[in-house]
Amino acid sequence: MKPIYFDNHATTQLDPRVLQAMLPYFTEHFGNAASRNHAYGWEAEEAVEKSRRQIASLIGANAKEIVFTSGATESNNLAIKGVAEMYAEKGNHIITAATEHKAVLDTCKHLEKKGCRVTYLPVMGDGRIDLDMLRGAITDQTILISIMYANNEIGVVQPVAEIGKIAKERGVLFHTDAVQAVGKIPVNVIADQVDLLSVTAHKMYGPKGVGALYVRRKSPRVQLTAQMDGGGHERGMRSGTLNVPGIVGLGEACAIAQAEMPEESQRLRGMRDRLRARLEATLDEVFINGSMEHRLPHNLNMSFAYVEGESLLMGIDDIAVSSGSACTSATLEPSYVLKALGLGDDMAHTSIRFGLGRFNTEAEIDYVADKMIAVVTKLRELSPLYEMVKEGIDLSKVQWTAH
Ligand SMILES: *Cc1c(COP(=O)(O)O)cnc(C)c1O
């Protein structure tokens, strides 16, 4: 038996309806969307344009503003490097946050080597950025603010509309990595005053290896330096023959998400809150990481004090989750996102990210709650520290002696 899947921030299962929509584009409708002279090309192009409208509709954009990519890593690279190169004469300063995905942070680090200046804003204890700090960081050299919509570890939703407003007032472009938010909570590029927005299909029940970048066309008309040279596809911003089946899948995933979001998010929130309530009712010394108020409905990230992280993961090996210590699984580095919130290494190492999704059931929630309670309780029975805390000893006042 494979473990129960609770890792929907890492990737999601392809929705069977998405697969059905994609299948004909591997076989009979195999045309190249750039072929202008025959029906094979036209039907591929038609399918691509339908997908563009489906994505645009979900985020309040115009279909012409959608650029297809291979996923959000590429979308983030194209947005940030594309702006840095195109607007180099205007300035060289970029503002981002310490809790961004590596696809943003490593892109910024690359640009620092090329002469850009990057401000990595810290976050507050709840995982959100401080808007006054953002205002204070903007200079006359600032060309781009890149702040994610919702975080992939803690599910914390940033004050995106406020950031958009600040960016607009100061004449700075605003990019948001919205991978975890699009299709899960309402996202609107007009209301949020976003100029560039990254999405990927595989985090919303679509296929891997396809994504999109929204690029605003009006007030302002955003220009990007292409990072891929070739046939001039996608208004010259991203050359390369389009992945038609993947693009069809992304569009269908967006259409399903748009139709089902109100019901689905309510169902997932209910299950998430049930999991949290059950854990907190039985276990003490458990802590929620990040704001509960500004949070995706399907995310729960909790630290379980006085258990050893590796033992905890081994104890729940029939549940597929991520932990704050296994992120860079080769090394035992604690999560940089949790550290940015102010967690110590101990609490980061004992954190678990529960990422619920469309295909999880209420019965699975109860199974996971029971299993977590049993394993944490058992591990704490073996913990001398937990025993001391239960005896009322203040661990911070203990004089530890080394032997
Ligand atoms: C998964 C993820 C990415 C990377 O997307 P890919 O399509 O896998 O390249 C970027 N940002 C966030 C927040 C993610 O969760």
Pocket test residue of 176, 180, 200 for ligand 1, highest count of atoms within 8 A of CB = 200
pLDDT above 60 (res 71): yes
pLDDT above 90 (res 25): yes
pLDDT above 80 (res 332): no
Q: For residue range 158-173, what is the model confidence (pLDDT) as tens digits? A: 999 999 999 999 999 9
Please give the Cα distance from 362 to 356 (Å, whole number). Answer: 11
Average pLDDT over residues 37-54: 98
pLDDT band at 397 (very low <50, low <70, confident <90, very high): confident
pLDDT above 60 (res 329): no
Average pLDDT over residues 115-141: 98
The pLDDT score that the predictor gives to residue 135 is: 98
Q: For residue range 249-276, what is the model confidence (pLDDT) as tens digits? A: 999 999 999 999 999 999 999 999 999 9
Is residue 327 flagged as an active site residue?
yes
The pLDDT score that the predictor gives to residue 399 is: 81
Nearest ligand 1 atom, CA 9: 15
Contact 136, 118 (CB under 8 A): no
Residues 6+ away with beta carbon under 8 Å from 312: 304, 323, 350, 352, 375, 376, 379
| CA dist list (Å): 66 to 34, 52, 86 | 16, 6, 19
pLDDT band at 330 (very low <50, low <70, confident <90, very high): low
Contact 206, 195 (CB under 8 A): no
Q: What is the rounded average pLDDT for all residues in the chain?
A: 96
Is the distance from the beta carbon of residue 206 to the nearest atom of ligand 1 less than 6 Å?
no
Pocket test residue of 69, 70, 179 for ligand 1, highest count of atoms within 8 A of CB = 179
pLDDT above 70 (res 343): yes
Domain boundaries, the chain: 16-257, 261-393
Matching CATH topology for 16-257 and 261-393? no
Please give the Cα distance from 137 to 308 (Å, whole number). Answer: 39
How many angstroms does the Cα of residue 207 sit away from the middle of ligand 1?
13
The pLDDT score that the predictor gives to residue 327 is: 45
Is the distance from the beta carbon of residue 152 to the nearest atom of ligand 1 less than 6 Å?
yes
How many angstroms does the Cα of residue 179 sit away from the middle of ligand 1?
6
DSSP letter, residue 192 = T
Average pLDDT over residues 384-402: 86
Contact 245, 10 (CB under 8 A): no
Domain 16-257 coded CATH 3.40.190.10: no
Nearest ligand 1 atom, CA 103: 10
Beta bridge partners of 320: 5
pTM comes to 0.96
DSSP letter, residue 371 = H
CATH of domain 261-393: 3.90.1150.10
**Tokens standing for residue 94:** 């970029």
From atom 14 of ligand 1, which residue's Cα is the shortest distance away? Answer: 179
Provide DSSP, 72-139.
HHHHHHHHHHHHHHHTTTT--EEEEETTS-HHHHHHHHHHHHTT-EEEEE---TTSPPPHHHHHHH--
DSSP letter, residue 237 = T
pLDDT above 70 (res 39): yes
Using a pLDDT cut of 70, give the percent of the chain over it. Answer: 98
